[in-house]
A = this chain, B = another copy of it.
């Protein structure tokens, strides 16, 4: 049995949802509501001590880290191929996925927590918040919640995140200058892994997302949004989202503002 524990079709959860849908693999969807802190419940932490979604449970074995989960899916279910056959392009796929994990994702995440999660976090009752925080396994994540609650990301930190997003989009523009997909002529995990963050950029850094800075990336995103697997992943949302529409965190922000 294959079970995916995930939140909304958003950020790292989205990467694995799209990968599974591209491969057409049946899986049991286990929804973990991070706004109810279900990822820090003992039953979930027993599966992933880091208390983070997504995780994949395959015949009882726990597979963690979204980028690694997608390589695992490729190792175990190679029928629909998402790793380029050419070794150089496969290296490009991994480099882009790595830059996504280390540079793009933390930057988009900071902008998102700052502008969208802050209204939610600041309205949690103090006693409840402290109880919640005691259960967060990772120090970095606890710090992120506390900074978000206080609205205390500095302008220097936010600008550094914007700079990293610009850097990554410049790399994407280069990659897309001579091929349709990020790792080369073949659609691959590089596209899938990067997609949720770029989808976030369109909402969180609107002033940079334009024809002048991101012409090829805008076309690439349109191609991504048209893929049936992407639409199928969005259809798993509890908020009935679709590509390009307002998203869970936006709705949360409005509901709690």
Contacts and interface: CB of A to CB of B under 8 A. Distances in A.
B76 A87 contact: yes
Contacts of A68: 91, 94-95, 98
A239 interface: no
Interface string A83-116: 0000110110011001001100000000000000
A71 interface: yes
Interface in A48-68: 61, 63-65, 67-68
Nearest to A75: B87
A98 B90 CA distance: 17
A72 B101 contact: no
B98 A72 contact: no
5 contacts: A69-B91, A71-B94, A72-B90, A98-B101, A139-B167
A94 B60 CA distance: 19
Given A64-B95, A98-B101, 17 more contacts: A61-B88, A63-B88, A64-B91, A65-B94, A65-B98, A67-B94, A67-B98, A68-B91, A69-B91, A71-B94, A72-B91, A75-B87, A75-B90, A75-B91, A102-B102, A139-B163, A139-B167
Contacts of A95: 64-65, 68
Contact of A101 (B69, B87, B91, B102): B102
Contacts of A94: 65, 67-68, 71
Contacts of A88: 61, 63
A147 to B, nearest CB: 14
Interface in A23-77: 61, 63-65, 67-69, 71-72, 75-76
A163 B139 CA distance: 10
A50 to B, nearest CB: 10
A66 B64 CA distance: 22
A249 to B, nearest CB: 24
The 8 A-B pairs with the shortest beta carbon distances in the complex, nearest first, are A68-B94, A75-B87, A72-B91, A76-B87, A61-B88, A63-B91, A65-B95, A68-B95
